[in-house]
Every structure is written in structure tokens, then in C-alpha cells.
Amino acid sequence: MLKFSQCAAFGGIMAMYETDIGVRIGALVKEARKKLSISQLDLASGICSQPMVSSIERGDYIPNAVLFMQLCGRLNISLDDSFLKEELKMGSRNLSRQIFTFCKKHRYAEMIEFMDQPAVIDDLSSDEDYQIYYYYYGCGVYQLSQDAISAKQYLKMATMYSSHATNKVPQSEIEMLIVNALGVVEAKLGNMKTAYQYFDLAQNAAPIIQSNRENANVVGYQYGYALFLDERYQDALKVLIQSFNRVMEIESYFMLPEYALLIMSCYEHLGNDAETNKYKAKFEVFKDLN
């Protein structure tokens, strides 16, 4: 059992930890709001009060999961702005590695500029090379500008190099990632029926296509996030928990914090305090892991 002095010390550490979290969240919200040139009042509208936004930005108040995700949605903050964990190889090793490096560092403008070079395009030879090229390009455009229409055009070009119709279960990792990305952009455009069709295809492929590849971790998360935004919390939980367990089974940490936070948010909406606290604890464990 902890002595009183140990308890007091632990309490002090926790207070410092919460202060640090509050400051980091506040800086994130403030920076994103200023980037969009919107006021605190505009950000708060329909979500919370303006004074609460002010308190969050100062680091004085830590928002709960639901409030945080609502603010992220309005600010176009992705809870995970990576769309790949492992490199997709195309063309020569050097060019492929350079594109992936830009991607991992979120330097999307430089990535696109690099991919526009004739030398990169001339380096492509197989259908899979072109699939990967247009997948990178479409995702890069989306991450850079949130331009779902342009991203959809590039992703559709990627599907042209598939050996089968796009309404079939993907036959390779890159095909799975392409249809999943199409689900994301269709959801962004409000075409939810089409989005769910794409997500279902990717979800059905994930267990059988290189199931230990960490790139597949994004599939269940993005499907679940779309369901969450559609307020289909039970359906979201079914997808998210299954995918969360898969990530655990392959001993991966990629996107575990995002899964835990989103599952926690679903349970919070459903009023299940026990499961909310369970996944809150998981989030606390995973959030600082790489």
C-alpha cells in the first residue's frame, strides 16, 4: 500500500501529466483554428460555448472524447494523418523510398511535386506500380487540401490498373487500400451508401491479404469512423472492436490509440460508463507508443 507521502507525490505527477496533456490539446486546437481563420465563437457554434473553447486553448480544460472529436471534425484535424505504416514498393528502390519518406513525414506538397517529375513516371512499369503511384497521389492530394473530388479522380485512375472489377473483393494489399481510400472520400462527399460498399470490400479483404501487414490497420478504423460520424454507434463498435483485436493479435501498435479513443467515444455516446472507462485506460496506455 502506498504511504501518504507516496500518494501525494503520485498525485503531483498526475497533475503535471494532465497539465501537459491540456497544453498540448490546447495548442493543437488553437493552431488548427487559426489556420482556418475562424473565431472561437465559430468553432464553438453548435458544439460548446465560446468560453469553453477559450479554456481548452489555454490548456485549462481537457475536453472529453466526444467534445474533442467534434472539435477535430470542425477543424479538419485527422486523429491519425498517416495512411500508411509500411512502404509500398514500386519502380526503383530509391524513388519508392523517397516517396514513402515524404508520406511518413506528412510532406505531401513535396511528395506530389516529386511524383510529378518525368523520371518518376518513367520508372513505372507494371500495373501494380501504377496502382501504387495513383494511390499515393490521391491520398496525398486529400491529406494536403481535403479535396475529395480530386482525390477520388486519382484513386479511380488507380482502379483502372486492377485485373478485376472494383465491385469485387480486392485481390492484393494495394487494391484493398485503394477501395478503402475511396470509401473515405465518398464519405467526405456525403455519398454514404457508396462509401459503405467500398468499406465492406476492404474489410472483407483485410483478414486474407497479408494479414500481418500493418497497413491494413487503417481499414477497420476508417470504416468505424465513418459509422461513428453517421451516429451508428453499435455498428461502429462491431467493426472497431474486431479490427482492434486484429491489431493486438499481430502485435502492432500502429493506430491502437486511435482505435481506443474511437471505441471509447462510441461507448460514451451509448452511456456505457464501464466500457468507456475500460477503453479510456487502454488509450492512456497506448497513446505514447510508436
The per-residue pLDDT for range 99-126, each reduced to its tens digit, is: 999 988 888 899 999 999 999 999 999 9
Are the C-beta atoms of residues 198 and 179 closer than 8 Å to each other?
Answer: yes
Lowest mean pLDDT among 7-16, 19-28, 87-96, 257-266: 7-16
Give me the percent of the chain exceeding a pLDDT of 70. Answer: 86
Q: Whole-prediction pTM value?
A: 0.73
pLDDT of amino acid 4: 31
pLDDT of amino acid 7: 37
Q: What average pLDDT does the chain have?
A: 83
Are the C-beta atoms of residues 242 and 205 closer than 8 Å to each other?
Answer: no
Residue 129 has pLDDT above 90, yes or no: yes
Q: Which residues contact 209 (CB under 8 A, 6 or more apart)?
A: 170, 171, 172, 173, 176, 216
Are the C-beta atoms of residues 229 and 188 closer than 8 Å to each other?
Answer: no
Q: How confident is the model at residue 85 (pLDDT cuts 50, 70, 90)?
A: confident
Higher pLDDT, 209 or 26: 26
Q: What is the rounded CA–CA span in Å between residue 45 and residue 48? A: 7
Q: Which tens digits make up the pLDDT trace of 151-175? A: 999 999 999 998 766 668 888 889 9
**C-alpha cell of 135?**
494511390
